[in-house]
Structure 1
Amino acid sequence: MSYLALKHLHVTCVVLSGLGFCLRGWWMFTESPLRQHRLTRILPHIVDTLLLGSALSMAWMSGQYPFVHGWLTAKLFGLLAYILFGMMALKRGRTLAIRVRYFGLAVLAYVFIVSVALTRNYF
């Protein structure tokens, strides 16, 4: 697969992942039964696996790696924050207020990752 095709797949998965997270957050806030639907539990894992796989493939093809290039390191740490905050927001937060706070932090982490990707700068 060409680098350009991988990049298009990656960007598509970034958008799908962010929109899917926001939708699941909305369903959590409204206590919708759709958040327990089988597709809701499976599809994010498929999208995120494609997202991570395309990112790793592009890093390998371009020779740009985290801990060598600062902007990729920033994206990696942003991703870890996004995963942890998202997990607390959608699954582990004990109260709705805690989940709302973590949801906001997860969205901020997502925005940080996208801004670093677009500018290749983390300050």
Structure 2
Amino acid sequence: MARGGAQMTRVHYRSKNDDYFVFLDSVEDYRKWLSDSSIPLAQVVRSFQVFCTHKHGNQGVYDHASNADLDNEFGTHKDVEVLEKIMREGTVTEGHMAERNGSRNDSNG
């Protein structure tokens, strides 16, 4: 059974200390939100989580950013404020997650 193969859209914010990401539902909704911020964030972002790669750029392992990291970088760890800053100052990156096959039960032969 194939897994993955989904479209992955994110906003990448590069700071002097780390790289931060927010995953989006669609680029169209993101562009609408940029021109009309009255659109709720819940209709634009995939989740209210901020991810970081610990200085590994766009290719690193995505880790949930800690409150301390967010406080040091953005001056707050309130998710809405951090998301808005990342989305306004970051760049959109689109990609495609690789499709992979996984066995369901190896003991069945």
TM-score (normalised: structure 2): 0.32
Q: Which has the higher helix share?
A: 1
Higher gyration radius (CA): 2
